[in-house]
Structure 1
Amino acid sequence: MGTKERKEREKDEHRELILNAASEIIAKEGLEKLSIRKIAAKIEYSPAIIYHYFHDKEEIINTIMKKSYEKILKVLSSPEVSEDSPKDKIKHLLSKYIYMALEMPEEYKTILLNSSPEVLEHTSVLFKGASMKRKALGILCQSLKDIYIDKDIDNSVIELTAQVIWTSTFGLILRLIVEKDLPKKQRKMVIDHHINLIVDGIILGKSLTSYCQS
């Protein structure tokens, strides 16, 4: 390995160390408690060294947001999901998203409940045109379009439907995080019913009576 490659690798390792420390602070204390000094103290660096790798705290936050969003996209773009029928694809998308969030409860809650402009730049999903800027929401919109391919439904309605599905699922995730001692069997039943009710009941228009009897 040449000198240039070794320096680049060392730079990446230092940046990753800083990001991991920042993520741990966010998970334990909240985003508002994050500071360059706390990061430096945690990894026994001087604040000046942190600034050597990142311009400021905002760049660290933005990098963490980007990495978290890429993690979501990776899960939602997995091969087994992309090969499903539109109906099953949405079910798998919602299932994977919910269980992924439950594996990182504090990080998810801290980031998704934050209302700072820097964080909302990555997490907001309710604005008009969000499906064009938020790839995960765009994947859900495309699946809805595939289901309604024979129906004349305006794209704005498709997007609003995706936004409501996304936010209702977000609400469920938060309750599951808060009620963390819920028995696994009950948790699975709630998640499965949420997904089936959204897809079979809301999207496909199946009545609750016929759904429960099937």
Structure 2
Amino acid sequence: MTVKNRREREKEEMRELILSTASDLIAIEGLEKLSIRKIASEIEYAPSVIYHYFKDKEEILNIIMQRGYSKITSAVGNALVEPDSPEEKLKKITREYIEVALSMPDQFLVVQLNGSPEVLKHTGFLFQGASKEKPALATLYECLKELYQDKEVEEDTIELTAQIIAASTLGLIIKLIKEKDISDEQRERLINFYTNEIVLRVVVSIK
């Protein structure tokens, strides 16, 4: 390995250490309390070292949130690749979203429950036209569009339906994370009933 390659690897390792440390701090203390000084203290370096790898705290936050969002978009995107019926795709998209979110509960909650403008740039999806800007919502929108192909449903109605499904799914996820005392069996029953029954009922109710 050349000196240049070794330095590049060490640089990437330090970036990942900073990002993982920041992510852990966010999960424990929340986004508002994250600071360059705290990250530096955790990894036992001077704050100036952090600035050598990142412009500021906002850059670190943006990368962390983009990675978390990418996990969700990748998971729900895979459902559209399968040669299933639109109904089955919708079930898979919903379940994949729930399972990925539950795999990173602390980070998911901290980010989703934060109402700051900077965070909402990543997490907001209720504004008009969101299905054209938010990849995960766009995936859901395309699935619904396929499901409604034989009906005269306006695109605006399809987007509203996607937003309502996304919002209600978010609510279920938050409760599943918060109510830690429910059994694994009950958790699975709730997820199955929601994905197999409730979501489809919302879709079918659209005229």
* TM-score over 0.5 for the pair: yes
Letter aligned with residue 161 of structure 2: T
In the other structure, the counterpart of 1:136 is: 136
For normalisation by structure 1, the TM-score amounts to 0.91
In the other structure, the counterpart of 1:125 is: 125
Letter aligned with residue 70 of structure 2: E
In the other structure, the counterpart of 1:69 is: 69
Letter aligned with residue 11 of structure 1: K
RMSD over aligned Cα, in angstroms? 1.5
CA distance in 1, matches of 2:67, 2:53: 17
Which deviates the most, 189-198 or 111-120?
189-198
CA contact under 8 A between 2:18 and 2:50: conserved in structure 1? yes
For normalisation by structure 2, the TM-score amounts to 0.94
In the other structure, the counterpart of 1:160 is: 160
CA distance in 2, matches of 1:4, 1:198: 56
In the other structure, the counterpart of 1:151 is: 151
Shift of 1:82: 1.9
CA distance in 1, matches of 2:28, 2:152: 48
Alignment identity in percent?
A: 52
Letter aligned with residue 198 of structure 2: I
In the other structure, the counterpart of 2:2 is: 2
Q: Does residue 172 in structure 1 map to residue 175 in structure 2?
A: no
CA contact under 8 A between 1:87 and 1:199: conserved in structure 2? no
Letter aligned with residue 82 of structure 1: V
CA contact under 8 A between 2:31 and 2:110: conserved in structure 1? yes
CA distance in 1, matches of 2:2, 2:115: 45
Shift of 1:202: 1.7
| Ranges in structure 2 where 5+ consecutive residues have no aligned partner | none
Shift of 1:197: 2.6
CA contact under 8 A between 1:102 and 1:177: conserved in structure 2? yes
CA distance in 1, matches of 2:17, 2:164: 37
CA distance in 1, matches of 2:103, 2:120: 22
Letter aligned with residue 143 of structure 2: S
CA contact under 8 A between 1:109 and 1:174: conserved in structure 2? yes
CA distance in 2, matches of 1:74, 1:8: 28
Letter aligned with residue 81 of structure 2: S
Shift of 1:127: 0.6
Shift of 1:81: 4.9
Q: Does residue 23 in structure 1 map to residue 23 in structure 2?
A: yes
CA distance in 2, matches of 1:189, 1:198: 12
Q: Does residue 82 in structure 1 map to residue 91 in structure 2?
A: no
In the other structure, the counterpart of 1:210 is: none
Shift of 1:192: 1.1
CA contact under 8 A between 1:91 and 1:195: conserved in structure 2? yes
CA distance in 2, matches of 1:10, 1:168: 43
Q: Does residue 12 in structure 1 map to residue 12 in structure 2?
A: yes
Post-superposition CA distance 1:141-198 (Å, at most 9, x none): 0000000001111111100000000000000111111101101111111111111233
SS of structure 2 residue aligned to 1:77: helix
| Ranges in structure 1 where 5+ consecutive residues have no aligned partner | 207-214
Post-superposition CA distance 1:118-138 (Å, at most 9, x none): 111111000111111100000
CA distance in 2, matches of 1:97, 1:19: 23
CA distance in 1, matches of 2:27, 2:140: 28
SS of structure 1 residue aligned to 2:32: helix
